[in-house]
Amino acid sequence: MDLRKLGNSVANLAGEAGKRAMDISEKAAKTISKSAENIDIQKMGESASNASKKVQKMAVGVSDKAKEGVIKSAEAVNKVMDVNGDGQVDIEDVIIMGLRIPGICISREEFLRSEFMKDYPQEIIEDAIAFNPAHAGISSEKIEKYADEVIKFERNCVSGISAALSTPGGFAMAATIPADIAQYYGYMLRVTQKLLYLYGFPEIDVTEKGKKFDTETLNILTLCLGVMYGVAGANNALKAVAKALGTGVQKQLMKKALTKGTIYPIVKNTAKWFGVRMTQEVFTGFFKHAIPVVGGVIGGGLTFMSFKPCCDKLKASLRDTLLSNPNHQVTEDENIIAVEIIEEIDCVEDN
C-alpha cells in the first residue's frame, strides 16, 4: 500500500480548502479597499493580506497534520491486516481474517441437512450429502430458491454489522477499518461456502492447522471472490474445476492444479487484482469512518447495495457447471483449462 500517496491525497484536499479560503480573503480585501472612503485603504489592504496569509499558513498546518495522521493510521491498518506476514495486505490476508471470525466456517453436511430437512425425506438428504443435491434429484429451481434465501439472509447480517462498525470515527477508525473489511469478506465467504455446497462442490477444508489454512482452500476461495467481482479468468477457472470434479477427479487430486498447475496463474492474477482493491478499500474507509453518524449510514447502505450483486454473480456461475447441471455446455476456454487439469492429475498419478 502506498502510504505516502494516501497522505498526499488528504493533504491535497486540505490544501484546496486553504486555497479557496485565501481566494475569498483576497476578494474581500479588494472589495473593502474599493468601497471604503474614510478608511485607510493601504492599512485595510495590508490587514486583509495578512489575514489571507494566516489562513494559508493554517491550511498548510492542517494539511501536514492530516497527512501525518493518515500515514500513521494506514501503517496501523497494515500492521493489523498483514496476518500472513508477507509485508503487504492482500486477499489472502482478508480470507484468513474472515475465516477466523466465529461462525464464518460452514460444515457442508450440517448446512445441507438443515436446509433440506423441512422439504425432503431422509434418503434424499443423505444422497445430497454423499454426492450432491443435483445427484439426489433436487431440481435446479429449488436449489436456486435455497441460494436466494442464503444470499438474502447473509446480506441482512453483514449490512447491520457494517453499519455498526462504521460509526466510531476519530482515532478508533484504524481499528474498525480492518474489522469492517474482515466482516464484509467474512460473510462473503459464508455465502461462498453455502453456494458451493448447494451447487455440488465437495467440502472445502476451512480448519486452521498451526495458524495456517490449506493453500488449496485459500486459492479456491480466491477464485470464488474473483468471480464475484468479475476478475478476468476467474469464472472459466471455477467452471473448469467443476468440470474436472464432475468427470470423476477426486478432490484431493485437485490440489496440484490449484496450487502449482494450470489454475494457479489465474489465482495469482486474481490475488493481484484484489491487492489493488485492498488499498482502495482501506483508503475510502478512512473517510467513511471519519464521520461517525453519517459513516454508519453510508457503510451499511453501500454494503447492502454491493453484497447481493457479487453473490448473484457467483450463483450464476455455479448453477451452470457440470456438477450442478448435467446438460451444461462446456465453453472452449473452460474445456481447455479442464483438460489441462486432468492431464496434470494423470501425470501425478502415473508418477
pLDDT at 76: 63
As beta bridge partners, residue 212 has 209
Q: Tell me whether residue 83 is exposed, middle or buried, using C-beta atoms within 10 angstroms of its C-beta: 0 to 12, 13 to 18, 19 or more.
A: middle
CA distance 57 to 103: 52
Closest CA to 3 of 86, 59, 60, 68: 68
pLDDT at 124: 97
CA distance 228 to 222: 10
pLDDT at 157: 81
Q: What is the pLDDT along the chain (351 residues), one digit of tens a residue?
A: 444 444 444 444 444 544 554 455 455 545 545 544 444 545 555 555 665 556 565 555 545 554 555 555 556 666 667 777 777 778 888 899 889 888 999 999 999 999 999 999 999 999 999 999 999 999 999 999 999 999 999 888 876 554 444 444 444 444 455 667 778 888 899 999 999 999 999 999 999 887 789 989 999 999 999 999 999 899 999 998 888 888 877 766 677 778 887 888 999 999 988 887 766 655 555 434 443 434 333 344 445 567 899 999 999 999 989 899 878 887 888 778 877 777 766 665 555
CA distance 93 to 80: 10
Using only the alpha carbons of the chain, give its radius of gyration: 27
pLDDT at 333: 80
pLDDT at 164: 44
Residues in the chain: 351
